[in-house]
Structure 1
């Protein structure tokens, strides 16, 4: 059998935003098939059979055929290995738990060299999937052993290390449903929702409206109890104790049975319930002391534990807990029964996406203490049929939102508001939350900042609750998408000066303008960085700045090809010209005729209520109007290409007789300048058009042109 050299990966580019291929982030790979250019899939003996045996779900890939089994048909008919690699990578991502449907592979002008691209939400994950897919493909081509499970696990590990936790991811997904953009600010769960002055930030289920004072109060259980008890929220009597011997005295004065827990613990760590003897209380004191800074003794409240999620003073979800038991079989130890009867629950696991933790006795002193009270330990073998209590309150995952009596909604809302939290997880113990509060034993035992959401997203019983939507609606009222107006200028040679003039006009209108262009990064007239801000890592800083209420971005063709756009959508998109193709040979751009398919990206991202501004002097640029979701405003130095657009009621800017004219249908208004403009028509017209589309009045446009000094601005370059 012929042995083939590895496919060479010539260049790997992460496209962070909308790009030539897709609206979303993607990984673009230039690859050289080498001798495999002469060996499509149907010419390599046994290859298709080996591939489909290793990855049987490839049958689900539609490919260009448009139906199930489409890719298999392409394999059997013969397709090139770049295309095969694309589908292997996509399938590895699917198997690793990150469904991915988009991919394309296209030939270049160099024989055997292809551009392959696939959807990549994260660069590290995309690169991991590519590396594993490449290794897998070469093994299958050369009939070497391959380990698909190991490849999938490697991709899954990359996903686990790179992606948002489940609570944060759910909130971000809820924001996306509202078309609110997001930016990840660190490797963890700090995320910005919205842009510039309209942004909010979340960190898991905490927000930039979460008070540090409130969070500090919630972390002190004794202080929380005193504050909420003072306003009438039912709480269990309790007292902080410094020594185990004092714990028994307090327990007796409160009344047995009691609960012992740390004042600043979390996730139920160190909490022991229903203790009735001195030995039990003192042993529980040591367990609680190891988990927190202080230990509190409380009256034990009979009933089930509940977690109620409060957002902006309103209960949006409620879940009930239940006790955990194992049943003896006469041969298995307690530790073995926990593994076989409890840890097999698919909701339990070590990773963040699991709503319940795996139970391990070596890290659960409360469970060990509870077993000791039953005369058992992890090595004990209970008789067949014997029930052994493992946790008094474990699986808080039974949805009971619709059963909640208004009395309980009222008191937990009061508790959250008293502590001062905008989002709170309130722990309540009650016999029956369906009945009124009066006449039953019930109390609020904790108020938690930054509560987990999984119990409400993946309940064991009942319906998931749209808690992320509630949090997003709290931060962004209906109608608020968190966006500031973004204006993008794309082209070959003109965009830099157009961006400078446009930013100047917006600044005169009283806006707090951010500008990213080749000259640097600007806030108003102040340059804060002289680095080339067409680089997305520099330009993105405008979206982070809470002072900015409108931002202008220069986007050359090279930026679109090398990085993609820094934003997902814009209010106004401008395409000025098709110059500069000669500098883009590395992207297989050979002439100006290749540029429209690149620059159309700027039109693709214009919002429905936005405006696309296009140079009608070049019919190839004007043709991009069909890719704009918003309205279109044309500009030209010749009236002829504007005629049909104006006849249909469209707006345009025309340079005629040495003056700029604003045309609204057949109506015309000349800009009355006091002096000859400093900028050339190729710069003025797109800037005027974009500023007019933004809503600036003709008089302000004229004043801006009179005061714009290209020479002074050139000195900053």
Structure 2
């Protein structure tokens, strides 16, 4: 079994050059007849044994590969699934007049190439002498290297849960989405000048004032208080002694937290007396630069998320607890809760199990309890002071019960902060009553909140509608020129707003950033991440497309030679909205410039 090349097209936001929404791995073989006939019951059985020894996940719904190319594609998908820590999916065959192609899970081109090469090696090894154990041992090192490469490569699968929810919503809406190679940890939604970068749930086009305010609790309090919005008074401390004095002046119980923390890190609620202040102060300083002391409002805890200036959801956030049975200690009750949670029968719908840590021990200790305490039958014991879902708390949606006056207040705050998404943490006696008629205070505003607690898909979709009112407009217009090298084409690389890829290399903003790209797909990935690009221009040949794949889901305007015929021109025509004959001679670039001008919608 031999291979001329393993050709890979990377993920394309509306689908690759073949069909479907995900990546396409294109395998081109010198001897397809031999490879097709190679797979048989004996070979497949050996292949399955090797996959099992290498712990490659299998698609439970997939039938056994029927020929050699199917087997290589299935191996590639299993290798990528193992490297990226996910379940394998069955590769879907995609019709192509150029090569036999398989659609696989979204994967960046370098990783897909490595996996396809290893898949060829694995499949070939199964046709030669040796036990499955011997084959697996020989390939273990390459498998470890593939995992390391996957961990180093920014992919959707490697992002945090909120980013993955946003990415899924983008796919549903037809909005381009890819992890950024230039700004690690962020995602790029949209293409070129139409892109918006996301950090977690925060679009990075958000006004800087709102972002700065939300990162500093003290600034937020001062700003909102000046606009008549109810916030709690506070004092700042830089030493434990100053914190004790501040707490005494405010009056116990108090809350002590960092001014610049997030995710409830360093927050201690209901600090009861001066003896508890030093430990709470130290915890706050571990998570921030200054400690803030404010009154403890002994009411339920809520969060209101506002997206695009409109209320999206209001949640009551409840502290985790265990219920005594009169026989077992709290430690056993926690273990039982976690087991029930895993089995889907816990007392409350927590997102995460309860873990024993300093906060839990502190919470129990201040109530005169420990992990060895045996609560009475039916006694409810709260094991944390914070209601965060990631700490075992559980949210309940109360949007429909929230009084219109409260919703009006939340939307006013979001408008004042001018943020596309804002999560407001507040305390109130009851959301059903107007805020003016009860104990009520806004605690803080979050610019990049988690949206995975309740209705994650709905909230992500609402966020994207606020940022991208017209999803189709987020795509970068693309021009493809199919021609041999032309010295005049180099001038197109200097056209303002054009991201250019051709024989001379890749040019962004008129600056050459690399040599001739390995494929159109790889070049396009570089172009669409340039926030100044308004049009992508690919100048290439039929031979390169035949060798490397088209890699473009959609072409707005294609230029083909007058005598263009065969598989490659036919493939281009299927993906192009508009096709024009490319004139020869000195007039080659004039119609290309006209197409660019037509598509350059500023």
Report the TM-score when normalising by structure 2. 0.77
Post-superposition CA distance 1:133-183 (Å, at most 9, x none): 975996799663699xx9999999987764333322332333333433234
Aligned partner of 1:600 among 570, 574, 578: 570
In the alignment, is the contact (CA less than 8 A) between 1:104 and 1:116 conserved in 2?
yes
Post-superposition CA distance 1:362-399 (Å, at most 9, x none): 4xx32221111122344556566553321232325323
In the alignment, is the contact (CA less than 8 A) between 2:175 and 2:189 conserved in 1?
yes
SS of the equivalent of 2:559 reads strand
Alpha-carbon spacing, 1:603–1:399, altered in 2? closer, same or farther (3 Å): farther
SS of the equivalent of 1:468 reads helix
1:133 and 1:342 map into 2 onto residues whose CA distance is 44
In the alignment, is the contact (CA less than 8 A) between 2:255 and 2:269 conserved in 1?
yes
2:512 and 2:96 map into 1 onto residues whose CA distance is 42
Aligned to 1:390: 383
User: Is structure 2 residue 443 aligned with structure 1 residue 424?
Assistant: no
Aligned partner of 2:359 among 344, 360, 366: 366
Q: What is the CA distance between 1:294 and its match in structure 2?
A: 1.5
Aligned partner of 2:442 among 430, 441, 444: 444
Post-superposition CA distance 1:203-253 (Å, at most 9, x none): 222223223443232222122112111212211222122333443443343
In the alignment, is the contact (CA less than 8 A) between 2:322 and 2:334 conserved in 1?
yes
Kindly report the root-mean-square deviation, in angstroms, between the aligned alpha carbons of the 2 structures: 4.6
In the alignment, is the contact (CA less than 8 A) between 1:271 and 1:366 conserved in 2?
no
Aligned to 2:8: 14
Post-superposition CA distance 1:502-560 (Å, at most 9, x none): x59x96xxx74443322345578x56468336855556554344444333211323443
In the alignment, is the contact (CA less than 8 A) between 2:8 and 2:548 conserved in 1?
yes
User: Is structure 2 residue 464 aligned with structure 1 residue 468?
Assistant: no
Which consecutive unaligned segments of at least 5 residues does structure 1 have?
Answer: 1-6, 62-70, 349-353, 580-594, 616-634, 636-680, 697-717
User: Is structure 2 residue 73 aligned with structure 1 residue 86?
Assistant: yes
Aligned to 1:489: 481
User: Is structure 2 residue 237 aligned with structure 1 residue 241?
Assistant: yes
Alpha-carbon spacing, 1:285–1:373, altered in 2? closer, same or farther (3 Å): same
Alpha-carbon spacing, 1:527–1:303, altered in 2? closer, same or farther (3 Å): closer
In the alignment, is the contact (CA less than 8 A) between 1:27 and 1:119 conserved in 2?
yes
Aligned to 1:40: 39
2:350 and 2:595 map into 1 onto residues whose CA distance is 49
Alpha-carbon spacing, 1:156–1:454, altered in 2? closer, same or farther (3 Å): farther
SS of the equivalent of 2:436 reads coil
SS of the equivalent of 1:60 reads coil
SS of the equivalent of 2:556 reads strand
Aligned to 2:188: 192
Aligned to 2:584: 682
SS of the equivalent of 1:391 reads coil
Alpha-carbon spacing, 1:241–1:331, altered in 2? closer, same or farther (3 Å): same
In the alignment, is the contact (CA less than 8 A) between 2:77 and 2:105 conserved in 1?
no
Post-superposition CA distance 1:679-700 (Å, at most 9, x none): xx4357876666677787xxxx
Aligned partner of 1:573 among 540, 558, 562: 558
In the alignment, is the contact (CA less than 8 A) between 1:120 and 1:126 conserved in 2?
no
Post-superposition CA distance 1:29-61 (Å, at most 9, x none): 457899987653236696699799999976733
2:145 and 2:337 map into 1 onto residues whose CA distance is 30
In the alignment, is the contact (CA less than 8 A) between 1:13 and 1:28 conserved in 2?
yes
Post-superposition CA distance 1:47-98 (Å, at most 9, x none): 699799999976733xxxxxxxxx45xx6xxx33332342354467679545
In the alignment, is the contact (CA less than 8 A) between 1:498 and 1:683 conserved in 2?
no
In the alignment, is the contact (CA less than 8 A) between 1:19 and 1:561 conserved in 2?
no
SS of the equivalent of 1:308 reads strand
Q: What is the CA distance between 1:311 and its match in structure 2?
A: 2.4
Alpha-carbon spacing, 1:152–1:547, altered in 2? closer, same or farther (3 Å): closer
Aligned to 2:107: 122
In the alignment, is the contact (CA less than 8 A) between 2:35 and 2:69 conserved in 1?
no
Alpha-carbon spacing, 1:128–1:409, altered in 2? closer, same or farther (3 Å): farther
Aligned to 1:292: 288
SS of the equivalent of 2:284 reads helix
Alpha-carbon spacing, 1:266–1:275, altered in 2? closer, same or farther (3 Å): same
SS of the equivalent of 1:481 reads helix
Aligned to 1:662: none
Matches within 5 A, 1:468-617: 468-478=460-470, 481-491=473-483, 493=484, 496=486, 503=492, 512-521=497-506, 528=512, 531-532=515-516, 536=520, 537=522, 540-565=525-550, 567-576=552-561, 596-606=566-576, 610-613=577-580, 615=581
SS of the equivalent of 2:412 reads helix
SS of the equivalent of 1:388 reads strand
SS of the equivalent of 2:211 reads helix
Aligned to 1:228: 224
Alpha-carbon spacing, 1:465–1:300, altered in 2? closer, same or farther (3 Å): farther
Structure with greater Cα Rg: 1
Matches within 5 A, 1:303-452: 303-328=299-324, 334-342=330-338, 345=341, 356=351, 359-362=354-357, 365-378=358-371, 386-392=379-385, 393-394=387-388, 395-452=393-450
In the alignment, is the contact (CA less than 8 A) between 2:17 and 2:551 conserved in 1?
no
In the alignment, is the contact (CA less than 8 A) between 1:194 and 1:482 conserved in 2?
yes
User: Is structure 2 residue 259 aligned with structure 1 residue 263?
Assistant: yes
SS of the equivalent of 1:121 reads coil
Q: What is the CA distance between 1:443 and its match in structure 2?
A: 1.3
2:114 and 2:506 map into 1 onto residues whose CA distance is 33
Alpha-carbon spacing, 1:136–1:553, altered in 2? closer, same or farther (3 Å): closer
Alpha-carbon spacing, 1:87–1:417, altered in 2? closer, same or farther (3 Å): same
In the alignment, is the contact (CA less than 8 A) between 2:7 and 2:548 conserved in 1?
yes
**What count of residue pairs does the alignment treat as equivalent?**
566
Q: What is the CA distance between 1:486 and its match in structure 2?
A: 1.8
1:414 and 1:48 map into 2 onto residues whose CA distance is 62
SS of the equivalent of 2:474 reads coil
Q: What is the CA distance between 1:445 and its match in structure 2?
A: 0.5
Q: What is the CA distance between 1:191 and its match in structure 2?
A: 2.4
Q: What is the CA distance between 1:574 and its match in structure 2?
A: 2.5
In the alignment, is the contact (CA less than 8 A) between 2:43 and 2:126 conserved in 1?
no
In the alignment, is the contact (CA less than 8 A) between 1:92 and 1:133 conserved in 2?
no
Q: Higher RCO, 1 or 2 (CA under 8 Å, sep at least 6)?
A: 2
1:157 and 1:521 map into 2 onto residues whose CA distance is 28
